[in-house]
Every structure is written in structure tokens, then in C-alpha cells.
Amino acid sequence: MTTQKEQVLRIGVVGCGSISLAYMRNAALFRNVEITACADINPAAAKARAEQFGLRAQAVEDLIVSRDIDLVLNLTIPAAHHDISMQALLAGKHVFTEKPLGVTGAEGRSLVTTAKQRGLALGSAPDTFLGAAGRLARRMISSGAIGKPVTGTAFMMGRGMEHWHPDPGFYYQPGAGPVMDMGPYYLSMMVNLMGPVRRVQAVATSGQQERLITAEGPKKNTTFKVGTPTSVLSLLEFENGATVTFGASWDVFRHSNYPIELHGTEGSLRLPDPDNFGGVIGLSRQGAPWEETDTAGDLFGAVNWPIDKPDRANYRMVGLADLARSIVEGRPPRASGDLALHVLDIMESILRAGETGTAQLIESELAQPIEFTETEARSLLA
């Protein structure tokens, strides 16, 4: 493995699907990471990505044990996240995985424990809270722009996937649904801004027991059964005393709720979609009109994705670059396994509260991620 003094992690990517394109394109932006190899259970997919980016294509098992790979970037499907990440940790590799860390809290805990026992770094998406909008919001809250956070709302609402995805059934089964699929973006952002959650309450329902696929494909006009709640309204109680209503639904045609609004003793703050790295931040000081700041001109805020017709900021890889730096500096990464486990515990607890009608205490403890300064963000660039 490379020494810490070299400050470069040699990365092997496992999983060469669509999301790998963003990571591989963005890798060139950063000075302390280098993707050298890729693998996929479909050898043709690995070969295509390898040819596109000048990488070495390997079998999954060979990549994980390769002596010239320091970190495994796990971009497989959620059901495989735990097994691939655990294999990599047991092979002595650092790991960064797409969300979720695992499909259950037990899986996430086993990964966090194994990484700590072996002295390895473990990180997980999402890292969107490290983007321009998330950094600006963190600076505002840290500087007291809204005073002490008191309450807020967060809404992830839409019609689901069956109108555009040709085979969307898996999105509506246990381990998925709007909370598990999209919750990591909203919860990671809010935990980064206000610290850990200590208790949740929730109610859950589903608008339909079966859904009709209208997207083009072989399953068009067929139906599938819904196996997990598609509308969940939860109440999050943070350690700092703030309470936030978090609604996640795939039963909504149209709405006018902001993705995240936080209200404090001195003002209010509203944030853009936390699935993106940029967007417009709004600040109202003691009820004054909104002061809006577009972060498109800031680092990791410029619109760059999708490649053909960009309409949003996508800098997936910054969390991994910060993890690489954290190894050298001897500190926890910001998009850490601990953060991902805490978010996973919150999501499981929300669903359990919705099922039982009983408030749930969050088991995992977490230190709020340290603020990602502009100087640090710029220092990661190649």
C-alpha cells in the first residue's frame, strides 16, 4: 500500500454502472486520489469503463486483493454493499461506498466495527453536504445567522419511479422506499448542520398497494406490489434540542415545500435539494425578506451534470478525497462510516416508529462532522 507521506490513494472501483461515470470523471479534479482499476460482475461493463478512462479491468475478487490498490470504491447495488465492503476491509483496504452503508443497521455496525479494529478508513456517500450549498449553510449556522436552531421542515416528495424506470419494483420493497432511498441526502445534510439525532417519531402509509408501470420497456402497463411505506411523516429530535418534521413520499403529484427549512431564535434558513452539491441558499434575518445566494459560482457548486445538458452540480468524489486527506491528518473523514451508520439508524428507526406507533431512541452516537472550510476544499484540487 502507499505510504501516508505520498498522500495518494490508489483506488479500485467495484461496480461500473451509471453512477461510476460521475466518480470516474470527477476523480481528475482531486490531487490525492487516483483510480487505477475497475471491476464488475458483468465483465463487459468493466471493460467498457476501463477503455473509457484508461483503467485496468479485473475480476471483482482479484481487484479486492490487488497489492496496488489502497482503497475500494464500492458502487455496487445496495444489497451487495455490505459483502463487498467487508471483503475489502478484510483484505486490508480502505473503503468508500455508495449509500447506504448497508441495508440494515446491523450490517452498517459490522462494517464500522471491522474498520476500527483494523485501523482502516471507512467512508460513505452521500457527500453532497460538502458541496457549495452545504458549506455555505454550515458557515451561516456556525456564525449564528439564525441563532439557536429551534425547529424546521424537510420534504422529499414526488410520484416515484414507474413513469420513467422500466423495472422500478425494487424501489418499493423493504430496504428501499422513499426513506431509505432518498433519506440519506436529507439526513446527512441536517446532521452535518445541527449534529446527531436522539429520538424519532413517525406515521407511515402507502397510497397504493399496487403500482402501474408506464415507462417504456417490456414491463410497460404491468403492475407490481408495494412492500414498504411510500409516504412517511416523521419528527426528528436532535441532541441540540431542535425538532424537524421530515416528510418522504412517492405519492405526491406536485407540491410547494422547500427541501429543507431551518428556523432559529434569530432567523430562518432554506436550502436547495440536498441530492445536489449547489443551489440557492435563502436567509431571513429576524423575519426580513429572503436574502438569496446562488452558490453556482462557488467551489463544487457550478452546474456540470449531466454531461450533455447540465442542469445541476454533481461533484461525487469530494468525500473520498477528504477521506484520503483524513488518513494523512489522522482525523475522521467527514463523510464517514460513523455518519452513514447514524443516518442508517435514523432511517430504520423512522420506519420502525411508523410501524409500531412508538417513539424510537437512536442507538448510535456521533460527533458532528467538523466544518469543511473553503481553504480545505480548495486544497483538495489537483
CATH number at residue 296: 3.30.360.10
295 and 189 share one domain: yes
Residue 351 counted as domain residue = yes
Nearest to 376 by CA among 335, 325, 336: 325
97 and 167 share one domain: no
Q: Give how many domains the chain has, as a whole number.
A: 2
pLDDT at 127: 98
Q: What is the mean pLDDT of each run of 10 residues along the chain (382 residues)?
A: 62 96 97 96 97 97 97 94 97 97 94 98 98 98 98 97 91 90 97 98 96 95 95 98 98 96 98 98 97 97 94 97 95 97 97 96 95 96 94
DSSP label at residue 269? E
| Domain ranges, residue 226 | 130-302+337-367
204 and 298 share one domain: yes
Can you give the pTM of this predicted structure?
A: 0.94
82 and 64 share one domain: yes
Residue 329 counted as domain residue = no
pLDDT at 174: 86
91 and 142 share one domain: no
Distances (CA, A) of 205 to 157, 227, 230, 352: 14, 11, 6, 12
Q: Which of these three, 99, 124, 149, is where a domain ends?
A: 124
Contact (Cβ atoms closer than 8 angstroms) between residue 12 and residue 69: yes
Q: What is the DSSP string of 28-75?
A: GGBSSEEEEEEE-SSHHHHHHHHHHHT-EEE-HHHHHH-TT--EEEE-
DSSP label at residue 331? S
156 and 69 share one domain: no
Query: CA–CA separation, 106 vs 177, rounded Å?
Result: 19
Q: Report the interhelical angle of 78-90 vs 105-118 (nearest 10°).
A: 20
pLDDT at 170: 86
Residue 29 counted as domain residue = yes
Phi then psi dihedrals of residue 224, to 5 deg: -140, 155
Nearest to 368 by CA among 193, 227, 216, 125: 193
